[in-house]
Structure 1
Amino acid sequence: MSLDDTPYYHCVSRCVRRAFLCGEDPVSGASFEHRRGWVEGRLLFLASVFAIDICAYSVMSNHLHVVLHINAEKAAKWSTLEVLQRWHKLHKGTLFTQQYVRGEAQPDYALALVERSVETFRNRLMDISWFMKELNEPIARQANFEDQCTGRFWEGRFKSQALLDEAALAACMAYVDLNPLRAKINATPETSDFTSVKKRIDTAKHQKQPTPLYPFVGKPRKDMPDGLPFDLTDYLELVDMTGRIIREDKRGTIDASLLPILQRLNISSDNWLCITTEFGARTGNVVGNELSINHYCESNHRQRKPPERSRKLLA
């Protein structure tokens, strides 16, 4: 992961056993639906601790999707005390960091050790690998305890894709938010439980945005506040229209009134429908328009570029 290229990443974790993460097992008849709440609750809690923002998420029957934003500027502004208070919500820290948080007097060598620990903790609190570790390990322990078994619960650590530009970000977020519709678990975005789009729709009814999620702040502009570079209403309307097309199993075009956001992102209606239904199959480790991916490959000294179809999909 390279913050020089992009702060946005799409991560996926899958279960290794036939036993479901959530939902109902058709073989045994056992219901694991309550585990969705485990995942969503842990995910939103971690967003309040890490310098990592949640752009989109969906908790499925045997895997979960999350689109994350690494907020390095936010982490850099944290004081020593704030870093320690955040880290201590996850782990005990050290004897010296505990003393520092309690405001106890410490010798110089102890303060030096505290500062060294703080830099380690600060880096971890803006590290997606640590974020996914803190998400997946507690869920695995809970599930193993409930299933009365031991061993791996997750297929691996996690898979990630770098989202290099706004087009890739918007397409990936819509793909994640529409996962329950494509899987025929729910009929509409507003009824898709344990997804970011439902949480955004519920709070939008009260003219608000959900605090745990990275906010929409409008189109890119000078002195832009921290947040997603889209209008919330544009995004929700686009997801709703895309969901209607997916739900009706048609490959038609998106309503003309919704085209401006796609035009700004340089995505045709056909490409939008293709990538929001086949994002995983059509993309590789990095996603973006051809120019973005060429720049990424050059800056990271990569010789092998993604397939031509994947590179042009968002163009």
Structure 2
Amino acid sequence: MTKPRKHLIDAATTPYYHIVSRCVRRSFLCGIDKQGNNFEHRRQWIEEKILALPHIFAIHVCAYAVMSNHYHLVLEIDKAQSEVWTTEEVIERWHRLFKGNLFSQRFMRGEPLSCAERGVLDNCVSVWRSRLADISWFMRQINEPIAREANAEDNCTGRFWEGRFKSQALLDEKALTACMAYVDLNPIRAKMAKTPEQSHYTSAQRRIHKAKRAHNPNHSQQQARSLRPFVGNPRQDMPAGLPFRLTDYLELLDWTGKQVRANKRGAISAELPPILERLAIDPKHWLYSATQFESRFKGLVGGVYKLKQACKKLGYQRTPGLGSCRLLN
């Protein structure tokens, strides 16, 4: 039975989520279909939306991959960011998506509002603030415009996306790392690319291209814009961002990609990326998780302790996916 979205996405449980959105009937979003029709330009539509929305929402993009009939996102909800926005900041961000209402338009023009009018506006701002930290609203701003553009281009009407996007809660660093690698390596598993840097329309390619030009690729200010930066291993006074070093993550991607490619299979190298050692993940379990993440894990993903904690908090009667999540212990 499908669970309500409120039981699948809860920022108080974890800020990190893996999102998958697929075209209805598995029709082509991008690429070249069996009839030879080329939809490759639609990849750019999706990527532009993915990279633009974090500048409006209190939601960060950790990883993404745009495939032929679906796309993947790893998102981080930043409730703390939305809570410190002023009324003016919330309205300005909302107006970049929608017209707002008469009171918000007057407020932004500097016109005076009565007490009653300001009360109505404050209620609206409270709702908009919540929506700007909501993954469902974030996904709506990607999928609805793309559906309209694609249907207009195809000269047809009707549903373009499946009814609901799929979400998986990532409860700890191990789940987050495995999911990001799974997303970034999608084109390699699909034989669309041989290396991460050749994987077009992925966060991995964008990060690698930026890292090649950076003096210090691990410095957050020198990493790819619009993507959540890597800020190094956990420590005191740690800045906001992904709890790894970018160079460690890219080394892990390269190592994993070599194991995934058909002509690179064989014994696991003794020279493991240090990030696996820090996270205490068995390399064989890592490869399984990084290649089977979507099919193996269900709604909640993390170590057993984190999984049981989340299920208790969300009021689950049982602990789903317990056996699979033992791989991440």
Fold-level similarity (TM above 0.5):
yes
Match 1:256 to one of 263, 271, 279: 271
Indicate if the aligned counterparts of 1:23 and 1:31 stay in contact, CA closer than 8 A: yes
Q: What CA distance in whole angstroms lies between the structure 2 residues aligned with 1:82 and 1:254?
A: 51
Is 2:77 the partner of 1:70? yes
Gaps in structure 2 of 5+ consecutive residues: 1-8, 215-221
Map of 2:6 onto structure 1 = none
Q: Report the counterpart of residue 49 of structure 2 in structure 1.
A: 42
- The amino acid that maps onto 2:65 is S
Structure 1: which amino acid aligns with 2:144?
E
Q: Aligned equivalents of 2:86 and 2:317: distance in 1?
A: 41
Matched residues in 1 for 2:125 and 2:164: separation?
A: 25
CA distance in 2, matches of 1:307, 1:257: 28
SS state at 2:18 partner: strand
Structure 1 residue runs of 4 or more that deviate by more than 6 Å after TM superposition: none
Match of 1:11, SS?
strand
1:59 matched to 2:66? The reply is yes
Letter in 1 for 2:226: P
Task: State the distance in 2 between where 1:255 and 1:88 align.
Answer: 54
For the residues of structure 2 that align with 1:252 and 1:63, how far apart are their CA atoms? 32
Q: Distance in 1 between matches of 2:79 and 2:212?
A: 31
* 1:202-254 CA-partner distances (Å, limit 9, x unpaired): 11112221120000000111111010000000000100111111113525324
Length-normalised TM-score, structure 2? 0.93
2-side partners of 1:297 and 1:18: how far apart?
Answer: 32
Q: Take 2:51 and 2:102, find their aligned partners in 1: how far apart are those partners?
A: 28
Deviation at 1:106, TM superposition (A): 1.8
Amino acid aligned to 2:67: M
Amino acid at match of 2:60: D
The match for 1:23 is 31
SS in 1 for 2:328: coil
- Residue of structure 2 in register with 1:283 after alignment: 297
5 Å-filtered alignment, 1:74-85, equals 74-85=81-92
Given candidates 201, 205, 210, the residue that maps to 1:203 is: 210
Percent pairwise identity:
53
Task: Determine if contact 2:182/2:290 at 8 Å carries over to the other structure.
Answer: yes
The residue that corresponds to 1:139 in the other structure is: 146
- Out of 259, 265, 268, the residue aligned to residue 282 of structure 2 is 268
| Structure 1: distance between partners of 2:127 and 2:298 | 31
Q: Which amino acid aligns with 1:267?
A: I
Asked if the contact 1:251/1:273 (under 8 Å) is kept, the reply is no
CA distance in 2, matches of 1:2, 1:307: 18
User: How far apart are residue 305 of structure 1 and its match?
Assistant: 1.6
Q: Which whole-Å deviations, capped at 9, do the CAs of 1:36-88 have from their partners, x for residues lacking one?
A: 00000011111111000000000000000000000011101111001001000
Deviation at 1:18, TM superposition (A): 4.8
Deviation at 1:110, TM superposition (A): 1.5
Structure 1 residues 126-205: aligned runs within 5 Å: 126-205=133-212
CA distance in 2, matches of 1:252, 1:131: 42
Cα pair distance change 1:18/1:163, threshold 3 Å: closer
What SS is found at the alignment partner of 1:68?
strand
Q: 1:251 to 1:74 in 2, by over 3 A?
A: farther
Distance between the aligned counterparts of 1:59 and 1:86, measured in 2?
26
Measured after TM superposition, the shift of residue 306 of structure 1 is 2.2
Shift of 1:108: 1.7
State the aligned residue count.
313
* 1:110-138 C-alpha deviation (Å, 9 max, x unpaired): 21111111111000000001101111110
Q: Give the counterpart of 1:96 among 92, 98, 103.
A: 103
Structure 2 residue identity aligned to 1:252: A
Of 84-93 and 96-105, more deviation after overlay is shown by: 96-105
Q: 2: CA distance between counterparts of 1:205 and 1:100?
A: 45
Quote the RMSD (CA, aligned, Å). Answer: 1.2
Q: Write out per-residue CA displacement over residues 234-289 of structure 1, whole angstroms, 9 at most, x where no aligned residue.
A: 0001001111111135253245241x311221211001100111111110100001
Whether 1:32 and 2:39 are equivalent positions in the alignment is: yes
User: Which of 308, 311, 314 lines up with 2:325 in the alignment?
Assistant: 311
Given that 1:161 and 1:286 are in contact with CA atoms closer than 8 Å, whether structure 2 keeps it comes out as yes
- Read off the aligned partner of 2:32 and give its amino acid letter: E
CA 251–81 in structure 1, closer or farther in 2 if over 3 Å, else same:
farther
Residue 17 (structure 1) shift: 3.5
- Greater mean alpha carbon deviation, residues 10-19 or residues 244-253: 244-253
CA distance in 1, matches of 2:237, 2:84: 18
Which residue identity lines up with residue 231 of structure 1 in the other structure?
R
List alignment gaps of at least 5 residues for structure 1. none
Q: SS of 1:205's equivalent? A: helix
Q: Provide the rounded CA distance (Å) in 1 between the counterparts of 2:94 and 2:310.
A: 33
Q: Which residue identity lines up with residue 256 of structure 1 in the other structure?
A: E
